[in-house]
Structure 1
Amino acid sequence: MSLSRLSVELIPRSPEHLLEDVAQVKALLPAADTLNIPDLRRFALRSYQATDLVRPLFAQAIPHIRAIDIAPDAPLPGAEQEGLSEVLIIHGDPPPDLSYRTYPNSTETIIRRYRKEAPHLKVYAAFDPYRRAPWQELEDVARKKEAGAQGFFTQPVFDLKLFDLCQEWLEGETVFWGLSPVIGPRSRSYWETTNRVIFPNNFIPTLEENIRFAQAVLRTLSQTEGRAYLMPLRVKLENYLPPLLEALN
């Protein structure tokens, strides 16, 4: 067996930078069939605009849509966009620039709007096993499903035991499992401080160990035709992506 889908998350810093990364992913990881693109307010290029740029090389591109950015009377980003078939709805963190206006939308509110106003789009939501108690997150999963979410993208996982547990919690759901390298103490501190990640005692923040962990998860997912996405932060794509092919062959 093999993965049913493999996505790579690329940051849209600029059109030129994004297209360079897309070309590298295409060359280095031919097993990847999807891109997912976050929406970061510090960059001018919006996630849904970026999907149009990458579609010549990746027909399946999933933009992240921040719920708090959408005005109640504004059109939904990407709803009328030709070629777009999937979106990932996240709540979104408040921007550092307080002059930028946000709105008190829940993720569920925006999911419902997409399902009603753009029923041709498949809607994903987020799953995060770290930021709060598991029962709270699973209640949130139930609310998102009730609102119309058709699948989930997880926060990156770093622990095989937690990965196994989360698979049980999300059994029967369409899930893209996140994998991201954590290299060095500063990177580890970021995940611990910002995302409340608890790393296993035997976690080693080196590229080699992160590749080994990702290979183990990908092999497990390949056995059930699962889905994964890679978030190659602060690593060179040529160092991180090619070794992962070994787990997919």
Structure 2
Amino acid sequence: MTLSRLSVELIPRSEEALAQDTDLVKALFPAADTLNIPDLMRFPLRSWDAAALTMPQFGPVIPHVRAIDIAPGAPLPGSTMPGLKELLVVHGDPPADLAHQTYPNTTESIIRRYRREAPHLRIYAAFDPYRRAPWQELEDIARKKDAGAEGFFTQPVFDLKLFDLCRDWLRDELVFWGLSPVIGPRSRSYWETTNHVVFPKDFEPSLEANIRFAQAVLSQLAQEKGCAYLMPLRVRLDQYLPPLMSVLKA
């Protein structure tokens, strides 16, 4: 069984660390055909610059772009990058550094700019089942599609029942379903307080349980030729990725 697309999210801590992680993904997880790279203010390497460094080493890369960071009239990140074919536009959280200037853009306004100024790029947007009422999030999905989004990256899911429900809501969309291991109480608390995740009562924050959950979701998606991305936060790539190959080879 294989997925239509399978991405691994890598944090651009530095050029050296990014190159090492990319090599690890290639060696440990040959099922991955794509990388996606978030744009994180705590690191100096921007996601689109990281993508430019990584594409010759790996191939398809999807950088994330924060809408609130783009000044009116400023060039759109990645719009003229040779070889770049797709990117993800997120709204972006307010920066911790108050000296960092942001702008009152919406995700939709930046997607529309990309559609006008870089029509060769496929633009993705975000879907978050935890942030607010589902009807509000689905209205946002409709607005993002109207602006020109061609697909969506979800916040990581941690519950098979919610995963099934969201699949029904987004049945006709191109969706990269997010999976991220939650190991230990501190990691669980981060997701609960920062991202408002509601974990199932029987959720087990261990590496083994998270691997089993990821295997179950990937197995279902492989049967449907779906898409997924893995966000291996706070775990070693060599511990998390290789066990997931088993369901993709079956």
TM-score of the aligned structures, taking structure 2 as reference length: 0.99
- Distance in 2 of aligned mates of 1:52 and 1:26: 17
| CA deviation profile, 1:165-209 (whole Å, cap 9, x unmatched) | 000000110000000000000000000000000000110000000
Whichever residue aligns with residue 140 of structure 1, its letter is: D
Misfit runs of 4+, over 6 Å = none
Report 1:58-207 matches (<5 A): 58-207=58-207
Q: SS where residue 97 of structure 1 aligns? A: coil
Q: SS where residue 155 of structure 1 aligns? A: strand
Give the Å deviation of 1:16.
Answer: 0.2
The residue number in structure 1 matching 2:231 is 231
Whichever residue aligns with residue 55 of structure 1, its letter is: M
The residue number in structure 1 matching 2:32 is 32
- Distance in 1 of aligned mates of 2:172 and 2:28: 31
Whichever residue aligns with residue 98 of structure 1, its letter is: L
Give the Å deviation of 1:58.
Answer: 2.0
Q: SS where residue 241 of structure 1 aligns? A: helix
The residue number in structure 2 matching 1:54 is 54
| CA deviation profile, 1:86-109 (whole Å, cap 9, x unmatched) | 010000001111011000000000
Q: SS where residue 25 of structure 1 aligns? A: helix
In angstroms, what is the RMSD of aligned CA positions? 0.6
- Distance in 2 of aligned mates of 1:31 and 1:97: 38
Whichever residue aligns with residue 196 of structure 1, its letter is: H
Question: How many pairs does the alignment contain?
Answer: 249
Give the Å deviation of 1:40.
Answer: 0.5
| CA deviation profile, 1:19-76 (whole Å, cap 9, x unmatched) | 0000000000001000000000111111001111111232110000000000011010
Query: Is structure 2 residue 183 aligned with structure 1 residue 208?
Result: no
- Distance in 2 of aligned mates of 1:160 and 1:148: 30
- Distance in 1 of aligned mates of 2:247 and 2:160: 16
Whichever residue aligns with residue 194 of structure 2, its letter is: T
- Distance in 1 of aligned mates of 2:185 and 2:140: 32
The residue number in structure 1 matching 2:5 is 5
- Distance in 1 of aligned mates of 2:53 and 2:80: 16
Q: Is the 8 A contact 1:112 1:148 kept in 2?
A: yes
Q: SS where residue 201 of structure 2 aligns? A: coil
**Structure 2: tracts of 5 or more residues without a match:** none
Q: Is the 8 A contact 1:14 1:45 kept in 2?
A: yes
- Distance in 1 of aligned mates of 2:73 and 2:29: 41
The residue number in structure 2 matching 1:242 is 242
Q: SS where residue 84 of structure 1 aligns? A: coil
The residue number in structure 2 matching 1:220 is 220
**Structure 1: tracts of 5 or more residues without a match:** none
Q: Is the 8 A contact 1:26 1:57 kept in 2?
A: no
Q: SS where residue 156 of structure 2 aligns? A: coil
Whichever residue aligns with residue 122 of structure 1, its letter is: R
TM-score of the aligned structures, taking structure 1 as reference length: 0.99
